[in-house]
Chain A
Amino acid sequence: MNSIPQLPLAHWIDGFVDWLVSFTGFFNGVTNFIGGINNAFQWVFDLIPIWLFIVLVLALTYYVNRDDQRWSLLGFEFFGLLLIWNLDFWRDMTQTLTLVLTSSLIALVIGIPLGILMSKSRIAEIILKPILDFMQTMPAFVYLIPAVALFGIGMVPGIVASVIFAMPPTVRMTNMGIREVPGELIEAADSFGSTEWQKLFKVELPLAKTSLMAGVNQSMMLSLSMVVTASMIGAMGLGTKVYFAVGRNDAGGGFAAGLAVVILAIILDRLTQSLTRDHKRG
């Protein structure tokens, strides 16, 4: 039975990671860059008094839903945020929010152009599709190992792992949104002499907006689902509370922190969903 030797797959990947680690300068630069975005968000959130933060969230919700006000959502946000404050999870919540926002932002900045590329080029689609499947189905834990090797301990490797795990929906939905623009509209754009960029910005992206935003929403939810995993490598926030509660067999503490994640998730989900809706029509 031992006639076929075992493939040294793990060894190869180790070798690859070791090779990557040799680019210390590059990865330090990336770490500093991502850390910078993260710290900027955190700095702003720390600066805003809690009451003002709650008011701002409510005001934002009110604004994005101005045509179709949902008072129950406003009520939920108000009491949910008060509860988080009361449970003394505020700082943890803002850390988690920072992680989610930073990784979503990066996923967006990389994901949307990739999605556009995928929609325009058959070859890009053939190459990217399996990679996206891989990114999404590989157990997220696995990303933590090389992430630590390359980016050290803390928020940044957590963000990187979240980006990898959360980006595929944005890419896919951007691709799908653009591909689903009716052929006649593409022909119309071409027949009037649009350049490729004009077609992209005046026709394709506006029409793909709903689908694109659905992808962003999904990415955000996925990165939120990464917070507990990311806490294992030192990304602070609500995830840490849950992770510690697991270690101490503290069901109450675990659920309390978990509930705060749920509240944050619902608020983020509803806000991004309202952004997709069209406000131009009464």
Chain B
Amino acid sequence: MTVKVEVKNLTKIFGKHVGRAKELIKQGKTKPEILKETGATVGVDQANFEINDGEIFVIMGLSGSGKSTMVRMINRLIEPTDGSVLIDGENLMKMDKKSLREVRRKKMSMVFQNFGLLPNRTVLENAEYGLEIQGVDKETREKKANIALEQVGITGYNDEYPDQLSGGMQQRVGLARALANDPEILLMDEAFSALDPLNRTDMQDQLLDIQERLHKTIIFISHDLNEALKLGDHIMIMRDGEVVQTGTPEDILTHPANEYVEEFIENVDRSKVLTAGNVMIRPVTINVDKAGPRLTLKRMKNNEVSTAYVVDNKRTLIGIVDANDVIGLVRKDSSDLRSIVKSDVPTAHVDTPINDLMDDISQTGIPFAVVNDDGQLKGIIVRGAVLGALAGNEVSDFE
């Protein structure tokens, strides 16, 4: 396996008195000591690691751990104070502006937490951006952008504007924009953190899917250990600007380097960490403001379910309907779906830990409806999915 990216002694110090802070760091002083003595904040402290060609490398840490600074030093959006980044053996730090621009255009693209899409451009124009600034002619870049949009699974939205799309869709455009350049390296800064749980799972699956076909080198920033374990070929855990441990997911789970990592893994005590939002699946929903009994019946049949969840135009949960009742309604030739809705559905908030729900779930026959603060239906919890999640399997979506 060849090394694609090699990071040596990479350091970032924010604030004044950088020179003095640099000396102190070399003497092995800690971050609070340096802050106290010089007023400078150590963002990243002498990081060393290697990333192999074609792997997903997850940099993990809580906020303030320096992971975002780290990824931005890899394409020099943030200028490192010290150290070097070698890409295919070439030192990025020694490059002038022009060659750096060339690397950013051809070799690596970035995907942002809040998508970073230009609101005044359509989906297609956004996806074309990277090619446009390279001076690629319109026909070629449209073709490449379309291919990229297809790869991430959004077609038919070319002329929409970003704010007309959902978060998940917007991030697909962000990913397509990055892929359109056909870069060798993808930098993904908390790319899925702003998405709701179902969309996040979808996007993770899709990223793995894309990776299987394209074999990019992906540097993925995350604060979510479950995400890191799912995506990463290697995981690097950071804390307070320092690299705590680098290894395969297996390594990290079985041989945690220190107490900090141990605590992290303990948190994977799944029933406590996983919330209703993490294990829910997509329900079959009927919009009572739009659908009548016949359509309801057809949808239930298509999805092979005997109960369906009823929501209104705002996706607020109203209750469930039973197939038998719907059939009765059709026989009576009535269209009043509301009359047969059972509103006594067990519900849980998206943020409720599964631990708290366990008893109720095991005793109730019907799946729990998961709602958010506004009472909108986000998903449902079925027993199988809970067990699967606790056993460490990913929740699969049947749709």
Contact = CB atoms under 8 A, between A and B. Distances in A.
Most buried by B among A192, A195, A206, A209: A192
B41 interface: no
Contacts of A209: 120
Contacts of B114: 182, 184
Given A187-B77, A187-B112, A193 B118 contact: no
B153 interface: no
Nearest to B112: A184
Contacts of A281: 161
B133 A207 contact: no
B120 A206 contact: yes
28 contacts: A184-B114, A184-B116, A185-B116, A187-B72, A187-B112, A187-B116, A188-B110, A188-B116, A188-B118, A191-B77, A191-B109, A191-B110, A192-B105, A192-B109, A192-B110, A193-B103, A193-B104, A193-B106, A193-B134, A194-B133, A195-B101, A198-B133, A202-B129, A202-B132, A203-B118, A206-B120, A207-B118, A209-B120
A182 B72 CA distance: 17
A191 B113 CA distance: 14
B120 A192 contact: no
Contact of B113 (A184, A185, A207): A184
Interface of A: 182, 184-185, 187-188, 190-195, 198, 202-203, 206-207, 209, 278, 280-281
Given A187-B72, A192-B129, 19 more contacts: A182-B114, A184-B116, A187-B77, A187-B116, A188-B129, A191-B110, A192-B109, A192-B110, A192-B133, A192-B177, A193-B103, A193-B134, A195-B133, A198-B133, A202-B118, A202-B132, A203-B118, A207-B118, A281-B161
A280 B125 CA distance: 14
Contacts of B112: 184, 187-188
A245 to B, nearest CB: 47
A193 B101 contact: yes
B80 interface: no
Interface in B113-166: 113-120, 129-130, 132-134, 161
A281 B313 CA distance: 24
A194 B102 CA distance: 10
A193 B103 CA distance: 8
A206 B133 CA distance: 15
A202 B106 CA distance: 19
B75 interface: yes
Contacts of B77: 187, 190-191
Nearest to B130: A192
Contacts of B187: 191
Contacts of A203: 118
A117 B80 CA distance: 26
Contacts of A194: 101, 133
A255 to B, nearest CB: 44
B161 A192 contact: no
Contacts of A185: 116, 118
A185 B116 CA distance: 5
Contacts of A191: 75, 77, 104, 109-110, 187
A182 B116 CA distance: 9
Contact of A207 (B119, B132, B177): B119
A195 B120 CA distance: 19
Contacts of B106: 193
Contacts of B75: 191
A193 B104 CA distance: 5
Contacts of B103: 193
A193 B101 CA distance: 5
A207 B117 CA distance: 12
Interface in B76-123: 77, 101-106, 109-110, 112-120
Interface centre among A184, A193, A209, A278 (most CB of B within 10 A): A193
In the A-B complex, the 6 residue pairs with the smallest Cβ-Cβ separation, listed nearest first, are A193-B105, A193-B104, A188-B116, A191-B110, A192-B130, A193-B101
B245 interface: no
Contacts of B110: 187-188, 191-192
Nearest to A194: B133
A198 B118 CA distance: 14
Interface in B167-197: 177, 181, 187
A79 B367 CA distance: 68
B282 to A, nearest CB: 30
A207 B109 CA distance: 22
A236 B24 CA distance: 71
Nearest to A203: B118
